[in-house]
Amino acid sequence: MVTFTLNGKTVVANSDQTILQVAQAQGIDVPRLCYMEGMRADGNCRTCMVEIKHERVLAASCCRYPKEGMEITTNSPRALVSQKMSIELLLSDVPETTYTRNSELDLWAKRMGVGKPRFRSRPQPLGDASHPAIDVHLDACIQCKRCVRACREEQVNDVIGYAFRGGHAKIVFDLDDPMGESTCVGCGECVQACPTGALAPARGVATITPEKSVDSVCPYCGVGCQLTYHVKDNRIVYVQGKDGPSNSSRLCVKGRYGFDYVQHRHRLTKPLIRKPGVPKF
């Protein structure tokens, strides 16, 4: 246990909790984009910067642990300017059209009062719709690498990588292949991890507002992954992994993208009786 001050308030916390986690537990909002609960913190987006007294530079709160007696401010003018500037720079990279209702970048921009960015956009890459279940829109990519960690560290499929240098750096599948031609197994963990819709379920379904969300279990294999059905007009629109004991929100291609058999036109809708005399074989 360590005792330190957070925004002037004395706090006692476990020493294995990061500053960001302690702040969250205290109800203090610190923006974050490359951080995702349950994943290794990477500290690359620089939107969670906080000020620590007597330290020359700001610290990324997602991968910094509090020490005894530390004085940490998440909302000092210097910290706020840095947080907002990072968000504005990332905003300038992405298009105004959105690929998901749940863009975390838009959410934090709104919460932090960051408007239209003042900076010029980067040259935007083309979309990739080569995969039947997943659309790739790297124009919306902020290179937080949550997809890389989802693919390599969680699901350990080792398909997504981060290639090239400097301004050319980007997310790639295998050796920069189209996603549909790569060794991707379609688990969609990267889609679930993506904060901006740069990786999104195909055919724009992430922009549909579901009427209801129902928690259930995957109907395929014996692992018993828990999931959530998002439903509109009596149709399942998309499926997300739920934090169940056997899956911790992970799913595979069948569980995440294999749900539309229920609305296939072959469904039996009334009982059938064999006509007299019709042979069986």
Partner 1 sequence: MAARGLIEARNRYGKRALAGFGSAKGTNEEAYLFQKLVRTGFGSNNVDHCTRLCHASSVAALMEGLNSGAVSNQVRDVANAEVLFVIGANPTMNHPVAATWMKNAAKRGAKLIVADPKRSDLARHATYYLQFNADTDVALLNSLLHVIVEEGLVDQVFVRDRTSGYEALVENVRKFSPEAMAPVCGIDAQTIREVARLYATSKGSMIFWGMGISQHVHGTDNARCLIALALSTGQIGKPGTGLHPLRGQNNVQGASDSGLIPMFYPDYQRVNVPEARQRFEALWGMALDPDPGLTVVEIMNAAKRGDIRAMYNMGENPAMSDPDIDHAREALAALDHLVVQEIFLTETACFADVVLAATAWPEKIGTVTNTDRMVQLGRKAIEPPGDAKEDFWLLTEMGRRLGLNWTYSHPRDVFAEMRTCMDSIAGITWERLERESSVTYPCVKEGDPGAPVVFVDRFPTATGRGKFVPADLIPAAERPDTEYPTVLITGRQLEHWHTGAMTRRAAALDALEPEPVASLHPLDLEEIGVAPGDILTISSRRGSISLYARADDGMPRRSAFVPFCYYEAAANLLTNPVLDPYGKIPEFKYCAVKVTAGGPTPKRLSFGGGTLLLD
Q: Which residues in this chain contact partner 1 in the complex, by CB under 8 A? A: 132-133, 153-156, 185-187, 202, 212, 214-226, 229, 231, 234-236, 244-247, 250-255, 257-274, 280-281
Residue pair 103/176 in contact (Cβ under 8 Å)? The answer is no
At closest approach, how far in Å is the CB of 181 from partner 1?
12
At closest approach, how far in Å is the CB of 2 from partner 1?
27
Residue pair 235/267 in contact (Cβ under 8 Å)? The answer is no
Say which amino acid occupies 115.
G
For residue 205, give the nearest of 249, 236, 227 by alpha carbon: 236
Closer CB to partner 1, residue 92 or residue 207?
Answer: 207
For residue 103, give the nearest of 48, 141, 54 by alpha carbon: 141
Indicate the angle between helix axes 104-112 and 77-93, nearest 10 degrees: 140
Closer CB to partner 1, residue 169 or residue 185?
Answer: 185
Q: Could you write out the DSSP letters of every residue in 38-103?
A: TS-----S--SEEEETT-SS-EEGGG----TT-EEESSSHHHHHHHHHHHHHHHHHS-SS-S-TT-
At closest approach, how far in Å is the CB of 47 from partner 1?
28
Closer CB to partner 1, residue 75 or residue 228?
Answer: 228
At closest approach, how far in Å is the CB of 159 from partner 1?
11
How far, rounded to the nearest angstrom, does the alpha carbon of residue 253 sit from its chain's CA centroid? 17
Sheet holding 226-232, edge to edge: 212-217, 226-232, 235-241
Cβ contacts of residue 126 below 8 Å, gap of 6+? none
Closer CB to partner 1, residue 120 or residue 264?
Answer: 264
At closest approach, how far in Å is the CB of 178 from partner 1?
14
Closer CB to partner 1, residue 40 or residue 122?
Answer: 40
At closest approach, how far in Å is the CB of 207 from partner 1?
18
Closer CB to partner 1, residue 49 or residue 151?
Answer: 151
Closer CB to partner 1, residue 55 or residue 153?
Answer: 153
Give the DSSP letter of residue 161: E
Residue showing tokens 């690359």: 44
At closest approach, how far in Å is the CB of 223 from partner 1?
5
Interatomic CA distance for residues 132 and 184, integer angstroms: 11
Closer CB to partner 1, residue 8 or residue 277?
Answer: 277
Query: How close are the terminal C-alpha atoms of the chain, in Å?
Result: 75
At closest approach, how far in Å is the CB of 208 from partner 1?
15
